[in-house]
Structure 1
Amino acid sequence: MAGLERFLADEAATARLGEDVAMALRPGDVLALKGDLGAGKSTLARALIRALADDAGLDVPSPTFTLVQSYETRVPVHHFDLYRLSSASELDELGFDDALAHGAALVEWPERAEAALPDGTVWIELVHQGDGRLAKLSGQGAAFDRAARSLAMRDFLATAGWGEAGRRFFVGDASARSYEIVSLAGIAPRVLMNSPRLVLGPPVRDGKPYAVIAHTAQSVTAFVAIDKALHAAGVSVPEIHAQDLEQGFLLLEHLGAEGFLGQNGEPIAERYAAAGELLAMMHGKAWSDRMAAAPGIFHDVPPFDREAMLIEADLLVDWYVPMLTGKPAGNALLAGYHNEWNKVLDRLEGSQYTLMLRDFHSPNIIWRGDRTGHDRLGVVDVQDALIGPAAYDVASLAMDARVTISPEIEKRTLDAYVAARRAAGAFDEAAFREAYAITAAQRNSKILGIFVRLEKRDGKPFYLKHLPRIRDYLRRALAHPALSGLHDFYAAHGLLEERPL
Structure 2
Amino acid sequence: MSSYRINALTVWAAQQNGLSQADISLSSAVGDASFRRYFRLTLPDGTTQVVMDAPPEQEDSQPFVNIAKRWRSAGLPVPKVHATNLTDGFLLLEDLGNTPLQNLFNDDATTQAYHAQALALIAELQNRADPDSLPAYNTALLGRELDLFPEWCLSAWLTLPPPDSWHTVREQLIQHALAQPVVTVHRDFDAMNLMVHEQRLFMIDFQDAVAGPLSYDLISLLRGRYCRFSSEQFADFVDTFYRQARSDGRLSSSVDFATFLTQCHAMAAQRSLKVLGIFCRLTLRDQKSGYLERLPHFLDHLEDSLSHLTEQAEFAEWVNRSLRPAIMQRLAEVL
Q: TM-score, normalised by structure 1?
A: 0.58
Check whether the contact 1:237–1:379 (CA below 8 A) recurs between aligned residues.
Answer: yes
- Alpha-carbon offset, residue 168 of structure 1: 0.5
SS at match of 1:359: coil
- Aligned partner of 2:292 among 464, 467, 472: 464
Structure 2 counterpart of 1:193: 52
Structure 2 counterpart of 1:356: 185
Q: Which has the higher contact order (CA 8 A, sep 6+)?
A: 2
In the alignment, structure 1 segments of 5+ residues that lack a partner are: 1-23, 25-145, 200-217, 291-300
- Alpha-carbon offset, residue 263 of structure 1: 6.6
Q: Distance in 2 between matches of 1:353 and 1:462?
A: 34
Structure 2 counterpart of 1:269: 112
Structure 2 counterpart of 1:488: 314
- Alpha-carbon offset, residue 424 of structure 1: 2.3
In the alignment, structure 2 segments of 5+ residues that lack a partner are: none
Structure 1 counterpart of 2:135: 302
Structure 2 counterparts to residues 134-283 of structure 1, below 5 A: 146-161=2-17, 162-163=19-20, 164-199=23-58, 218-261=59-102, 268-283=111-126
Q: Distance in 1 between matches of 2:91 and 2:113?
A: 32
Q: Distance in 2 between matches of 1:264 and 1:414?
A: 19
Would the alpha carbon gap of residues 471 and 265 (structure 1) be closer, same or farther in structure 2, given more than 3 Å must change? Answer: farther
Q: Return the letter of the residue paired with 2:148.
A: L
Check whether the contact 1:364–1:379 (CA below 8 A) recurs between aligned residues.
Answer: yes
Q: Return the letter of the residue paired with 1:395.
A: I
Structure 2 counterpart of 1:329: 161
Q: Return the letter of the residue paired with 2:176.
A: R
Structure 2 counterpart of 1:434: 262
CA shift digits 1:45-102 (9 cap, x unpaired): xxxxxxxxxxxxxxxxxxxxxxxxxxxxxxxxxxxxxxxxxxxxxxxxxxxxxxxxxx
Q: Distance in 1 between matches of 2:70 and 2:105?
A: 36
Check whether the contact 1:289–1:387 (CA below 8 A) recurs between aligned residues.
Answer: yes
- Aligned partner of 2:196 among 354, 360, 367: 367
Check whether the contact 2:102–2:192 (CA below 8 A) recurs between aligned residues.
Answer: no
- Alpha-carbon offset, residue 256 of structure 1: 2.0
- Alpha-carbon offset, residue 404 of structure 1: 2.6
Larger Rg: 1
SS at match of 1:247: coil
Check whether the contact 2:9–2:90 (CA below 8 A) recurs between aligned residues.
Answer: yes
Q: Distance in 1 between matches of 2:176 and 2:235?
A: 23
Q: TM-score, normalised by structure 2?
A: 0.85
Q: Distance in 2 between matches of 1:288 and 1:467?
A: 32
Q: Distance in 2 between matches of 1:187 and 1:430?
A: 53
Q: Return the letter of the residue paired with 1:240.
A: V
- Alpha-carbon offset, residue 278 of structure 1: 0.9
Q: Return the letter of the residue paired with 2:220.
A: S
Aligned length: 317
Q: Distance in 1 between matches of 2:179 and 2:283?
A: 38
Structure 2 counterpart of 1:384: 208
Structure 2 counterpart of 1:499: 328
Q: Distance in 2 between matches of 1:413 and 1:246?
A: 43
- Alpha-carbon offset, residue 264 of structure 1: 7.7
Check whether the contact 1:269–1:413 (CA below 8 A) recurs between aligned residues.
Answer: no
- Alpha-carbon offset, residue 229 of structure 1: 1.4
- Alpha-carbon offset, residue 390 of structure 1: 1.8
Structure 2 counterpart of 1:320: 153
Q: Return the letter of the residue paired with 1:245.
A: L
Check whether the contact 2:55–2:89 (CA below 8 A) recurs between aligned residues.
Answer: yes
Check whether the contact 2:262–2:308 (CA below 8 A) recurs between aligned residues.
Answer: yes
Q: Distance in 1 between matches of 2:13 and 2:105?
A: 37
Q: Distance in 2 between matches of 1:390 and 1:198?
A: 33
Check whether the contact 1:281–1:420 (CA below 8 A) recurs between aligned residues.
Answer: no
Q: Distance in 2 between matches of 1:432 and 1:281?
A: 20
- Alpha-carbon offset, residue 420 of structure 1: 2.7
Q: Distance in 2 between matches of 1:357 and 1:172?
A: 19
Structure 2 counterpart of 1:101: none
Q: Would you tell me which structure has more helix in proportion to its own residues?
A: 2
SS at match of 1:284: helix
Would the alpha carbon gap of residues 400 and 409 (structure 1) be closer, same or farther in structure 2, given more than 3 Å must change? Answer: farther
Q: Return the letter of the residue paired with 1:270.
A: A
Identity %: 29
Which is worse superposed, 280-289 or 227-236? Answer: 280-289
Check whether the contact 2:146–2:270 (CA below 8 A) recurs between aligned residues.
Answer: yes
Would the alpha carbon gap of residues 453 and 433 (structure 1) be closer, same or farther in structure 2, given more than 3 Å must change? Answer: same
Structure 1 vs Structure 2 CA RMSD: 2.6
